[in-house]
A and B are shown apart, each in its own frame.
Chain A
Amino acid sequence: MTESSLIVCGLPESGKTTFLAALWHLVLSKEINTKLSLSGLSHGEYSYVTDIKDKWLKGRRQERNKLNTPVQSVGMDLIKSDEGVVRVVFPDHSGEAYSEMWEARSCSNEVAEQLRSRSGILLFINLNLIKAPRPLFDDIDLNKALNQALPEDEVGVPWDAALSPDQVKLVDILQFLRCNELNANDGKLAIFLSAWDLVENQGLGPEDLLCARMPLLDQYLKCGQHGWDVKIHGLSAQGAEYLSEDDKEEDASEMLIEMLDKSGSERIRLLFDGKESHDLTESLEWLTS
């Protein structure tokens, strides 16, 4: 049996935990044929992944992993058709752990060790929530055009790393993952543009949409000098706005009701290489090859 440690990373609310929940359901339920299938339940501990899977099936939002809570690891023994069983381990770090790399320029030793020994990276980006840069001139120009008063404070707020655009944070995180200090190998990088259903009406495929919405990250990936082997995917694993823990079922939108009427596997939409499927393990097959 070979073992692959795949790091699931991304800024807060980028869809990491939802992916794991959907993946677990996919391989456990066998509702559809998948490239990788579950070998068995011998990994030992499935409480966390069962909880997140159940929440996902019920249309409830996942709780955010907090920075200083113990890292939950999701492990699966998966059968690859001609290679036997591969054990795939996903440490599910909070998004703040990655924000911290940018803001504090450090991470926990545990995170560092996992990043060092990883086989591949799954990077999640929620294009619907990203912070993009915007020139102050545009605000001033707009205020003048609308005859609105400008802020009285000419100087404004001091710079804080948290204020930087998300594309800058992600580029720097990817640079960290390849830095001498970590001494990690070259690897495969699967990028998932999550909540794809909310952005697909822009009429662009995943690669073109990333280029349009995060040009700095797109340039960095295309320059090819970073050592990553990259694939970009669009991913929708919910298809509708989920309910919070306190919401009543009657608050569910029509779209959510429509989704809940589908099987879990059918809710999943994965777009890459010009085609669409429900099979999340296709990306894992590539990552572990």
Chain B
Amino acid sequence: MASAETPLPCRNSDCTFAETGKCVEAHDVDSCPHRQQIDNGEVIDSADGVVSGGEDGTEDVSNEGTANRFNLGRKKTLDLGGASALLRKASANLIATIGPVKAGKTCLIAAMYDTFQYSQYNAYTFAGSQTLAAFEGICHSARSTSQAGDLLNPRTKSSEHPFFYHLSISEHSGQELNNLLLADRSGEIYEEICKKPSVAEECLELERADLLNVLVDGLKLCDRFQRAAMISTCQNMMLALSESGVVPPALRVNLVLTKCDDIEVSENKESAYAAFKDLAARIEDQCGSVFTKFSMFNVVAVRKHNVLVERYGLEALLQSWLEPVVPAQMFVSKTVTSNRAFGTSVMPNGGTS
């Protein structure tokens, strides 16, 4: 262990790197967010909370600023370092969202934030965010200010690492704050996991997640040419994840059906909803012993048709994201028979059963 005169190469005082050369959190040394640089016995890198690089136009900023300018040190999204810095200062639920490309991951994240702008949550209040500019960027395509002729989903650029959005939320009834870190990245890597499960090891957000949203594209379930492939991809993804050993034990999983307003206006509406239930049953059958709690949600992130209430299903989903994290040792493995659904399911009308 380090003495007062010999600083550790890692800001995490529990880390055994100095003795064993291995990161206690299983990070690669080069990408460990806690790593310090030591020179002549002195720490020369104290970049606590300062993050570098990033996706989607995040700038590399330092607190020194240029001549006559004071940099406010704010980023757009948080990278791994920024997310870790936040987790060291405050508890937060880390929410990972996976799904094929165009399933609506980024739209869902945008909608969860944007709902606060219209004060449309009954039970939750916005208390702050370190990534307001990033949220605004992903909300833009669904706003009037985009001057777009159609509601198009923003494409998330491919990235080697995940990035994170931050929300601080309080419940109307109390003063306690809940922090959410919402991981995002382009969906290609999640599709890669189907072909090569070891790719999951690159997804640090899955390793650290407190809850996993698995998005199922409702629009594709309406399309008889796309339906079977969509079901297969999601099922394949979940099987690969469950066998990868990457996800933490007792991980909660939400199966989230997106674009429900597209389903409601489709002539294949019944088939789409039936396919979603069938997918849920398949996943439970194959993976139920690994993921201890499954829930199903139907949502509309970006409304395209006037058939369901605005922000449909989002508050129930947000409630699940804010549930306190239960330590793994409090769970026992559940053996679920194949004709039983999940612990909680959310019906199309938003109620639970």
Contact = CB atoms under 8 A, between A and B. Distances in A.
Contacts of A175: 128-130, 132
Nearest to A172: B132
A156 interface: yes
Interface in A152-181: 152-159, 161, 163-165, 167-168, 171-172, 175-176, 179-181
Nearest to A113: B70
B72 interface: yes
Nearest to B150: A154
Contacts of A158: 140
A108 B69 contact: yes
A54 interface: no
A181 B65 CA distance: 11
A198 interface: no
A142 to B, nearest CB: 10
A224 B175 contact: yes
A134 B132 contact: no
Contacts of B72: 101, 105-107, 176, 179, 181-182
A158 B130 CA distance: 22
A167 B148 CA distance: 22
Contact of A140 (B73, B136, B151): B151
A157 B152 CA distance: 12
A106 B70 contact: yes
Interface string A127-153: 000000111111111000000001111
B140 A163 contact: yes
Q: How many A residues are at the interface, by size bracket?
A: 35 or more
Contacts of A133: 114, 117-118, 139, 143-144
Contacts of B303: 135, 137
A161 B139 CA distance: 12
Contacts of A47: none
A140 B132 CA distance: 26
Interface stretch (A32-40, A213-221, A246-254): A213-221
A215 B149 contact: no
23 contacts: A109-B70, A111-B70, A136-B143, A136-B144, A137-B142, A138-B144, A139-B144, A140-B150, A150-B150, A153-B147, A153-B148, A161-B136, A163-B140, A164-B133, A167-B117, A172-B74, A175-B132, A179-B72, A179-B73, A179-B74, A181-B63, A215-B116, A216-B116
Interface of A: 101-102, 105-109, 111-112, 133-141, 150-159, 161, 163-165, 167-168, 171-172, 175-176, 179-182, 211, 215-216, 218-220, 222-226
Given A107-B69, A156-B148, A216-B116, 17 more contacts: A106-B69, A106-B72, A108-B69, A109-B69, A133-B143, A137-B142, A151-B147, A151-B148, A154-B148, A161-B136, A165-B117, A172-B132, A172-B133, A181-B72, A219-B125, A225-B128, A225-B168
User: Shortest 8 CB-CB distances between A and B: which pairs?
Assistant: A156-B148, A215-B119, A112-B70, A223-B127, A159-B140, A156-B146, A134-B144, A151-B149
